[in-house]
Structure 1
Amino acid sequence: MLNKKQLTSIGFSDKQAVVYLALLELGPSAVSEISRRAGINRTTGYDILEMLVSEGLVSPLGKSKKQKYVAENPEKIVGFAENQIKKAQAILLEAKKLAPELKSIYRKKERPIVKFYEGKEGIKQVFEDTLTAKSEIVGYACAEPMQKSIPEFYFEYLPQRIAKGIKARGIMPDTSFMHKIVKNDRKELRQSRLVAKEKLDLEIEINIYDNKVMMVSWAENLGILIESEKIAKAQKQIFELAWQATGIIKQKT
């Protein structure tokens, strides 16, 4: 049997749904009868009926004081649903137009924006943000904790980064696990430098890109995203110094 939930799922409001169902059950009826059956007051009932008239789902009968309303052929709800899609598409188009302007206002904030993400889903969110990178991603990492914590996501994330052509450079602990990872550096658009584990025993991952610094603490199940031109610039400079230093170490060994 048709119910309110089915109608709201295609774009009816709760009140539109109960009024429309009441009218279908009653047949041609006055506002007072329809409102009583729908469980709403007469004024609201009249307003809802006029909305349904404008959508082509209901028609008024006559213009007398005791005017009645009748439901149109129920097949017209297909046209109603199509109109809802058109409205949603128009809203989406307008949102896309507004987004750059809103973003420019959003970025005018002088203070850094710091966001915290908890749990595995939160950590996935901070990694997904790196897929928006316009620049190379640089940072410090060990892939093993990520594979252990969110294994299915690890194997989803990497192909997405590669498909987007986002390059990466990383300084990582020298472990047997990481040796397996760096063998794929070229095809995974990555450059890696390994540092003795006793000097770089990472329990976190840090990625720096665009104007952002992303950090994940695996032990604490926590992700942090900092958006700041100055902080990102400073972290990139520190990374470049570390990158050069690891190159010197590699040449000496």
Structure 2
Amino acid sequence: MDYIKKVLLDAGLEDLEIEVYLNLLKIGEAPVSTIARKIGSKRTNIYNVTEKLSQKGFLSEINKSNVKYFSAMDPKKILYSQKQQKDIVERNIHNLEEILPQLESLKDPYALKPRVSFYQGKEAIGSLLIQTLEEPFDAYFNPDEAYNLFPKSIEDFQKHSAEKNLFIRELLTYGRLSKKYIKEVKNPNHKCKILPKRYNFFTDNFIFHDKIIFISYRTLIAVVIENEDIALTQKQAFEIMWNSCI
């Protein structure tokens, strides 16, 4: 049952919605009052849940003597509906890929103003660390600061890095957790070097082909700058440091 709930959660249902749907599968048609009594929840909550489930295609409804009765949609019909939605999404992605060159050609080549985004708070920055694994990058990284604030995000980072086998190069600060970080690297394309002790920094810098990300652990602020020229300059500076570091 736990696995069933997990799958339904991944499909976009909330806990109470899952409970209502599974109970209606068992009992068949029922009005809100019966569902509320069966689950032990307030009617107002069940009214909201049945409306959401109907919109999501998990319930059908019928009026009997001016009373709404709800029943769970056949799981096979839900699967068929989900597959149809998947086909539509895949078709849209394919169509967008086809017209991408034409859309790109419409961009103003002189619009070079960098796009800047700000992130603040532990949760936002932890999520941003995982998002860095969308493409190869170079980075200046302070494991001591990162492990202190985001041990779970670092664990997830290492796991996803190994799964994706992205090309990553990181210059690490000389700290007590730098060697631990290197030992936990499972991606053969993830290379690390430890900087001399005299080089210390308190922000992590991630350098991509068209953007850079600065993360300040002390203030819990991150800045993303999207601009190819700025990224290229940072990448060249990183190259010098990488080649000079043993």
- Give TM-score, length-normalised by structure 2: 0.64
Distance change in 2, residues 1:227/1:99 (3 Å)? farther
Distance change in 2, residues 1:76/1:220 (3 Å)? closer
* Residue 141 of structure 1, CA deviation: 1.0
Partner residue in 2 for 1:191 = 191
Instruction: Name the CA distance, whole Å, in 2 between partners of 1:226 and 1:102.
Output: 26
**Where in structure 1 are there 5+ consecutive unaligned residues?**
27-36, 39-70, 248-253
For residue 31 of structure 2, give the secondary structure of its aligned residue in structure 1. Answer: coil
- The structure with the largest alpha-carbon Rg is 1
* Residue 188 of structure 1, CA deviation: 5.6
What's the RMSD between the two structures over aligned residues?
Answer: 3.5
Corresponding position: 1:170 with 2:156: no
Instruction: Name the CA distance, whole Å, in 2 between partners of 1:5 and 1:246.
Output: 60
Instruction: Name the CA distance, whole Å, in 2 between partners of 1:184 and 1:83.
Output: 42
Deviations along 1:22-81, one digit per CA (max 9) or x if unpaired, are: x2333xxxxxxxxxx89xxxxxxxxxxxxxxxxxxxxxxxxxxxxxxxx9xx76943875
For residue 125 of structure 2, give the secondary structure of its aligned residue in structure 1. Answer: helix
Contact 1:144–1:177, Cα closer than 8 Å, also in 2 = yes
* Residue 179 of structure 1, CA deviation: 3.3
Contact 2:138–2:207, Cα closer than 8 Å, also in 1 = yes
Distance change in 2, residues 1:86/1:115 (3 Å)? same
Identity rate, percent: 18
Instruction: Name the CA distance, whole Å, in 2 between partners of 1:83 and 1:190.
Output: 41
Partner residue in 1 for 2:225 = 226
Contact 1:205–1:217, Cα closer than 8 Å, also in 2 = yes
The alignment of Structure 1 onto Structure 2 pairs a total of residues equal to 195
* Paired letter, 1:126: L
Distance change in 2, residues 1:184/1:12 (3 Å)? closer
**Where in structure 2 are there 5+ consecutive unaligned residues?**
1-29, 33-46
* Residue 155 of structure 1, CA deviation: 0.7
Corresponding position: 1:8 with 2:48: no
Instruction: Name the CA distance, whole Å, in 1 between partners of 2:51 and 2:99.
Output: 31
Corresponding position: 1:246 with 2:222: no
With 205-214 and 181-190 compared, the bigger mean Cα shift is at 181-190
Partner residue in 2 for 1:24 = 64
* Residue 217 of structure 1, CA deviation: 0.6
* Residue 219 of structure 1, CA deviation: 0.7
* Residue 191 of structure 1, CA deviation: 2.7
Partner residue in 1 for 2:157 = 157
Instruction: Name the CA distance, whole Å, in 2 between partners of 1:76 and 1:194.
Output: 58
- Give TM-score, length-normalised by structure 1: 0.62
